[in-house]
C-alpha cells in the first residue's frame, strides 16, 4: 500500500484514517496528502506536561490544599501525563508540594516532577540558578524549568546559559533542565514591564540552538499573554524546530485570552512541537490555559498522534478538579462539560429509536463527532425546546400505542412547552425526562 503522503484522494478515502469504529469521525480533509504536506514536521508522538497545580491557582476562584495537590498529581500520573509542575523554587508552599508528591511515590510511576525558576539576568543569577538546580533535586524533583523573562540578549548571557547547562549535567545528570522562552518580542506598549520582550525573536531562536547543542534535551516556548494567532504559532514553532534540529524536544505553552489556546497549541504541534503544556479544565490566570482534555482529544482524533493519555479518565479528572476548586466549567464545554452529552436536539427521534433498539448512538451514526464513552462520559436523554418537535412526539405516541394525528401531536407539544416555560420561570432545568414525556403523552390521550 502506498504511504499516505503519496496517496491519491481515492486511495486515502478507501483507507479512512479519520474514522475509528466506536470512537470518532473527523473530516477526511485533514488527511489529504496536500494538507499533510503543509505540516512536514508533525511529530509521531506528543508528550503531555501539566502545570495545573501552579497555573490553576492563578485563577481567582482556585486554591488547593497540599493533600489535594498530591491527589491531583497521582491522578495526572495515572492518566499518562509525563510531567507535573509543582510551582516555583523558593516558594515554601510549592517546595512542600514537591516534597510531599515526591514522597508519595509519583516519580516512581515514571512521571517527572518539576519546579520553575525565573531568569531576569542569567549572568547575575548564575549562582542562584545553580542553587535552584540543587534545591529541586534535594526536594525530590526530576526536572527544572528556567523561565527566561529577562533581557538576555548578548554573548555573555549565552555563555552563562551554557555554564548553567553544564553545571546541571555534571552535578545532576538525571535532572531535566528545560529553558522556556516568551515568544512575543518587541512592539508592545508594556515593554518595560515584560523585559524579555526586548530580546528579539531571532536572538531567542539562536539561544535555543546554542543551549540544545550544549546538552539541553527540550526547550519550551510560551505565550503567557495569549496574544498570538495560530499562523504565528505555527511559524514560531517551525523556526525553533529548525534551530534545535529533529532530535530535540520542543514544548509549547498557551494562554486563552482570545479563546485560541487550544488552536494555538495545535498550531505549535503543526509547526513541529512534540510536547504540550496543558491544564485540566483550562484553568489559569484571566481566561485560563490550553485545556488538557481538548488538546489531547484533538491530537488523537483529528491528527492521529498518540499522546499516551488515557482518554477515558479525562472526565473523572475534570470533575475532581472542579469539585475541590469549586470552579465550574461551562456545562457545554468540549470533552468535560457535565451536560455536554445531554441529548436534546432535532436528532432526538433518531436517538430514541437507536436506544429502543439497543444500539450505541455513535455506531448508529447519529449526529455526533465522537463517542462520549472514549472520554468517560455517557449519553443522557432529555427533552427541551428543540427535541419537543412533531417527529419526536409522533414517535413517542407510536411507541406507546397511542393514536397519532396532527391535533394530538400539536396538543402534546403545547403542553410540554408550557411545562418547560413554567420550570424556567421557577429557575429549574428547562427540559423533561423520557418518562415525563411518556406520562405527558398518556395524559394527553385521555
pLDDT tens digit sequence for 4-40: 555 566 666 676 788 888 899 888 888 888 898 999 9
Residues 6 or more apart whose CB falls under 8 angstroms from that of 4 comprise: 12, 15, 17, 31, 33, 36
Please tell me the predicted confidence (pLDDT) of residue 392: 87
Mean pLDDT of 99-115: 88
User: How far apart (Å, rounded) are the C-alpha atoms in residues 194 and 213?
Assistant: 27
Please tell me the predicted confidence (pLDDT) of residue 383: 87
Domain boundaries, the chain: 47-325, 342-445
User: How far apart (Å, rounded) are the C-alpha atoms in residues 179 and 278?
Assistant: 17
User: How far apart (Å, rounded) are the C-alpha atoms in residues 399 and 99?
Assistant: 61
User: How far apart (Å, rounded) are the C-alpha atoms in residues 31 and 317?
Assistant: 31
Give the three cell numbers for residue 255.
494562554
Residue with cell 464545554: 333
Please tell me the predicted confidence (pLDDT) of residue 131: 95
More confident call, 14 vs 284: 284
Question: Shortest CA distance to 51 belongs to which of 94, 107, 109?
Answer: 94
Per-residue pLDDT tens digits for 143-170: 999 887 665 566 777 888 899 999 999 9
Q: How many CB atoms lie within 10 A of CB 83?
A: 25
CATH 3.20.190.10 fits 47-325, yes or no: no
Residues 6 or more apart whose CB falls under 8 angstroms from that of 11 comprise: 1, 2
Please tell me the predicted confidence (pLDDT) of residue 159: 86
Per-residue pLDDT tens digits for 63-94: 899 999 999 999 999 999 999 999 999 999 99
Question: CA quadruple 383, 386, 392, 394: dihedral positive or negative?
Answer: positive
Rounded to whole angstroms, what are the CA distances from 309 to 78, 219, 296?
9, 22, 7
| Model-wide pTM > 0.75 | yes
State the Rg of the chain over Cα: 26
Residues 6 or more apart whose CB falls under 8 angstroms from that of 91 comprise: none
Beta-bridged to residue 252, according to DSSP, are 221, 276
Amino acid at each position: 500500500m502506498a504511504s499516505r503522503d503519496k496517496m491519491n484522494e481515492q486511495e486515502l478515502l478507501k483507507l479512512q484514517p479519520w474514522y475509528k469504529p466506536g470512537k470518532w469521525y473527523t473530516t477526511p480533509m485533514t488527511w489529504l496528502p496536500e494538507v499533510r504536506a503543509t505540516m512536514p514536521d508533525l511529530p509521531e508522538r506528543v508528550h503531555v506536561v501539566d502545570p495545573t497545580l501552579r497555573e490553576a491557582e492563578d485563577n481567582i476562584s482556585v486554591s488547593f490544599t497540599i493533600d489535594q495537590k498530591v491527589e491531583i498529581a497521582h491522578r495526572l500520573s495515572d492518566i499518562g501525563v509525563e510531567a507535573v509542575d509543582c510551582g516555583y523554587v523558593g516558594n515554601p508552599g510549592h517546595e512542600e508540594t514537591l516534597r510531599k508528591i515526591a514522597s508519595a511515590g509519583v516519580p516512581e510511576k515514571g512521571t517527572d516532577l518539576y519546579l520553575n525558576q525565573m531568569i531576569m539576568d542569567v549572568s547575575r543569577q548564575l549562582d542562584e540558578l545553580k542553587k535552584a538546580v540543587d534545591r529541586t533535586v534535594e526536594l525530590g524533583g526530576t526536572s527544572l524549568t528556567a523561565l527566561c523573562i529577562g533581557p538576555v540578549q548578548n554573548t555573555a548571557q549565552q555563555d552563562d546559559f551554557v555554564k548553567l547547562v553544564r553545571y546541571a549535567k555534571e552535578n545532576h545528570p538525571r535532572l531535566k533542565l528545560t529553558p522556556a522562552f516568551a515568544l512575543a518580542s518587541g512592539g508592545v506598549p508594556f515593554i518595560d514591564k515584560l523585559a524579555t520582550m526586548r530580546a528579539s525573536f531571532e536572538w531567542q531562536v539562536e539561544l535555543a540552538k546554542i543551549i540544545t547543542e550544549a546538552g539541553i534535551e527540550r526547550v519550551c516556548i510560551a505565550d503567557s499573554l495569549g496574544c498570538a494567532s495560530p499562523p504565528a504559532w505555527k511559524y514560531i514553532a517551525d523556526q525553533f524546530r529548525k534551530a534545535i534540529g529533529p532530535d530535540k524536544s520542543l514544548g509549547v505553552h498557551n494562554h486563552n485570552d482570545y479563546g485560541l489556546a487550544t488552536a494555538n497549541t495545535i498550531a505549535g504541534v503543526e509547526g513541529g512541537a512534540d510536547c504540550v503544556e496543558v491544564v485540566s479544565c483550562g484553568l489559569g490566570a484571566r481566561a485560563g490555559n490550553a485545556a488538557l482534555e481538548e488538546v489531547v482529544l484533538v491530537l488523537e482524533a483529528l491528527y492521529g498522534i498518540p499522546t499516551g493519555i488515557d482518554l477515558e479518565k479525562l472526565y473523572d479528572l475534570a470533575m475532581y478538579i472542579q469539585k475541590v476548586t469549586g470552579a465550574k466549567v461551562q456545562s457545554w464545554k468540549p470533552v468535560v462539560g457535565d451536560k455536554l452529552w445531554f441529548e436534546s436536539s432535532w436528532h432526538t427521534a433518531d436517538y430514541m429509536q437507536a436506544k429502543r433498539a439497543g444500539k450505541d448512538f455513535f455506531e448508529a451514526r447519529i449526529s455526533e463527532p465522537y463517542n462520549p464513552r472514549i472520554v468517560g462520559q455517557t449519553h443522557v436523554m432529555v427533552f427541551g425546546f428543540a427535541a419537543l418537535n412533531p417527529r419526536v412526539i409522533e414517535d413517542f405516541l407510536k411507541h406507546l400505542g397511542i393514536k397519532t394525528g396532527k391535533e394530538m401531536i400539536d396538543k402534546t407539544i403545547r403542553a410540554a412547552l408550557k411545562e418547560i416555560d413554567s420550570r424556567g420561570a421557577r429557575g429549574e432545568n428547562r427540559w423533561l425526562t423520557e418518562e415525563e414525556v411518556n406520562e405527558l403523552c398518556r395524559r394527553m390521550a385521555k
